Structure 1
Amino acid sequence: MNHYELAKEILEHTGGSENITQLNNCATRLRMNFKDESKIDLNKIKQINGVLGAAKKLGQYQIIIGTDVSNVCDEIRKMGQIDESAVPMKRAGKLDTLMDIFASIFTPVIPAITAAGMIKAILVICVLLGMNKESQVYSILNFIADAGFYFLPVMLAFSSARKMGCNPYLAVMMGGILLHPNFAKMVSAGDPVFFLGLPVKLVNYGSSVIPIILAVWLMTYVERFADKISPKPVKFLMKPVLTILIVAPVVLIVLGPLGSYVGTVIAAVTDFLNSRVSWLVPMLMGAFMPLLVLTGMHWSFLPILMTSYTTYGYEAVMGPGSLVSNICQGAAALCVAFKTKDRQFKQQASSAGITALMGITEPAMYGVTIKYKKVLVSVMLGGAAGGFYAGLMGVVRYTSGTPGLLSLPIFIGENPMNVIHALVSCTIGFCITFVLTWFYGFKELEKEGDREQDKYSEAKEQVQKSKKIIISSPVNGRKVNLSKVNDETFAKEIAGKGMAVEPSDGRITAPFDGEVVTVFRTKHVIGLRSSEGVELMIHIGIDTVELEGKHFTAYVTDGDVVKTGDLLMEFDKQAIEAAGYETVVPVIVTNTGNYLDIIASEEGTVESGQPLFTVL
């Protein structure tokens, strides 16, 4: 892979380096924010050789590169000056905004946490091999590792300030205030402390997460206020002084203790789950991790993970389940590689499978598993089984890191059986996934290789004998292919095949005679079943579930019988778009597997009642 050429092509389709406001990367993805999003061409980015996928998630553009992502990120930085000063966030869904903040705050500090945790793991191994805990070598390495956790508030202060748009060095100063030795002495002494007559709650902020984020959030507003009231001749001096003098006392008296309490609650909930139903969370994570990664929802767990690391020194929420899930992705891809007769696909699947076993799952996920729903189901079932065992045995992860065979040391701790049980859970997940894919999931892949022509001829004959079912558009607007919908679940046809409509108004009508199967509580989804058995989902907008039914009016309920053209739903298109949501309407055949194919019509203008696609 030519990193320079790849970086150059990405910049060509993103408006150049001057259009970038934020740039970083995780293990496999570039994560970017832009000044002018109209310059972004996701379709062309996806076609670049070396790009495995691209999407906008959590208010952030994510370009999947693979393990070479850091090199590509470095090349992009070399090609021009990137102004990474934070810009005001555009209106978006509350959940999207929250997860975007989490991702931007926690991603930059993960390398430091990983380094600290790995050094701890090395120390555990050294002690098992005979190192004396009283030795100076052990003591020095131990405090080196502890620094990564203890000074976490300082690191989070910097990344939070970069995201929220305040002075990062004042934010770092606030982190230093929380950790100052004199305040630590007050906490140790335990004597009552007051500031201007107000009580200061004595809290140990070392390794804390929530308090500093709340502090920086407050600082963004105070700094603007200080900037507004400070006279220009003395603004350089007055603005930072006012900011610290206001923020520091409020944090020490109110926000710091509040954040500490929230962290305590998170730790208590985690402890409750681990002690009462230890199998539940790893099982669910093992099953649904592919979907969480596809939608970006896995970022929402970062505060919980960081709180668990700093409170207990380990976490059992995501690590065990994600380890098994990654291994299952590898098992599925390798199984497909063994069975397929397509040489090119065999090479792709085998490479993706090995990479997934090492912890990098995007090539397997986007190249193999989500293309074939039964293979994805096999991965989820294997992940659930392995995750169940891991939870039952109390497997924990001692530090952050992409779970895989290469990163097994992150599961090494004082309990030597922890890593053994982690390996057993991986073996369970691998075997179950491989067997299910071999006997169940791979049936949908028999259209490949030498059987291609036979299947085509058979399909052609079935089409001639079958009855064609025309599905009409439920809304006026413009027809677009699902691949252009800004949601991987629809664009990758994970939910089923169909077509989407960019609506010109807010009226949804019945596309056929049939029955209303369900109207979601949030009213953004209607499920229908035609008199001929076609099960249809009409999904109004992207992420509009977050509106909780606001701007939607339903005219039908579950079980209603409808005729073609009956009014089902009205939605306020302008209000939904003003709230930051897309209003595109994917129309999906959810029982696609029962039919030979779904044939979309040509893109263009369509009126309600006119043909949208054909079910064969």
Structure 2
Amino acid sequence: MNTPAPATDALAKDILRGIGGAENIESVTHCATRLRFQLHDGAKVDQAALDALNGVMGTVPQSGDRFQIVVGGAVARVYSEIMNLPSMSGGGKPRPQSDADVKAAARAKGRGRFAWVDNFFEYLSDSFRPLMGVLLGSSLIIAIASVLDAVGVVDFRAADKSATWVFVDAMWRSVLYFLPIFVAYNAAKKLKIDPWVGAAVMAAVMTPNFTGMLNKDSGIPGITCTTNGTLGTQECVAHVFGLPMQLNDYGGQVFVPLLMVALLALVYKGLQRIFPEAVHMVFVPFFSMLIMIPITAFLIGPMGIWAGNGLGEGLSWLNGNAPIVFAIMIPLIYPFLVPLGLHWPLNALMLVNINTLGYDFIQGPMGAWNFACFGATAGVLLLSMRHREKEMRQTATGALAAGLLGGISEPSLYGIHLRFKRIYPRMLVGCLVGGVIVGVMGGVDTKAFAFTSLLTIPVFSPAVAYVIAITAAFFTSMALVYFSDFRTAEDRAEFNAERDAAEAAARGEDAPAAAATATGTELAAPVAGRVVSLDEVGDPVFASRALGEGVGIEPADGRVVAPVDGELVTVVDTGHAYGIRTADGIEVLIHVGIDTVQMKGEGFDVRVESGQKVRTGDLLVEVDLDAVRAADHSTVTLMTVTNTADLASVEPHTGQDAAAGDPVVTVRR
């Protein structure tokens, strides 16, 4: 029976303990499969304990207090977990890296060119990800309510709804209205400050005491109210401490808590440096609230509202002066407005349009954005089914149902799109296509305020133009996401490897091993030369079969080709290692030379990329063998089947001279 691999953070802690603690680490790096430690004292390593860890394939002590731990495909994640352990903040700094190293690490993590962009998306994502359950729950309630509204069971916009339906409204509004408090809590956790302080600051401007001042008839002295001529909304100002404070209803405002917490983190951490640690619990939250609640009420909150109102007025002008540009622009800006909560004032503008003009011009082009969003979610759903991603399949199914039936984009955005930044540019193409169609066909109007879902298509006019636009937006985004994936090639390879390992473990627990088949799959020699046993290659990790059974080849030339048909799930930046997965799940590793990762790609002319489909004999890389020898590295090329344990047998054929393409390993399932 196989034991499931441990969580990587637990494994990281065990590895750190076995290596002698953070204080024993001079530097740590990693290559395609191994953690490479430079230690202060190699004698402190508990090698037996490390070898016994579930998730460690083997260990290799080396001279000069160097030590290697073979982890396999999850090495990048384990490395990241080790570096993020609290004890590593005071020790174990990685050795200085060259520009090439930094760029390679950045590419391996799938990060963008600008760190602040990545940090911004991570801040947004981590502020919303924990809310997915309640967001999906409330959105499905909205979807049901929308169906009932569409078929005429109840009018949810009626002023005289019964107590029953008012209560149903409360069931879903509880999440969307108090979303700013939830977001403030998560954002504070993300920035490593007390999350309850973040929630308390945001809650202060959402209490009945505060919102009660919004009513000019409340009887509270010092409050004056005016009406916004464009939006038709009431704006009130209270005089607090002799200063004017704009009053707003912050329900559903997401931009305000995100901005507030970013400033709160600076204040909170500054106070931690000022006060002795013994009194942090009392004085840091006290002064944080004392400072940030007024700043939020007087400055940050109104700034968020002003930004939204200004946007609404600008769009009204644009639609009146350049309607085609407006139809294209609306679906392109909505993907950025919704995550920040800046789209809410537009809802008021839609209602004003209906009440004054008799129709609204925003909801039609907005539908192109919504359906592009839902199409991207559909692409993720199809990929999750293809790659057997259970959690993502559940998330995408719920988000797509809430979108198509309820017209709600938040579950898709917060649960999927903001987590995988590859989705946004592809979704924007769908937005552009739908917007262009709306503009070219003369615009789309509606006489009702409606969620842009499948159920509300009849309220838009002309319906044909609207259907064509949302259909094109939906399938454009879906196709782009599906065919280019929402994960990077490296992330996809890592996820699929982890999934396969988990499924193999489950089969070991719940089902008998598959019987060996009479026929096998032949793996060809990736390079011409003398075929030798792994025992003869001079590397203890490969000799131990920690990376699976296979062969070594003393190369006669530097042309390295694919040994089997399959998908390149791994192509390391240095060009010395390649992972191929066949259609029936055989995982093959080709490793050119011993310790050639140290050459940093010099002498390796890579001809393929990760995610590419290859056939037997396709050129992977041309290697300058003289350069490898000059760097004092062995040129032996290793080929192993990394999931040997899941197969019936892996039979190497050694002791022969083989041409590239000759069968050298037989795999039986």
Give the shorter-chain TM-score range.
Answer: 0.3 to 0.5
Q: Name the larger-Rg structure.
A: 2
TM-score computed with the length of structure 2 as normaliser? 0.43
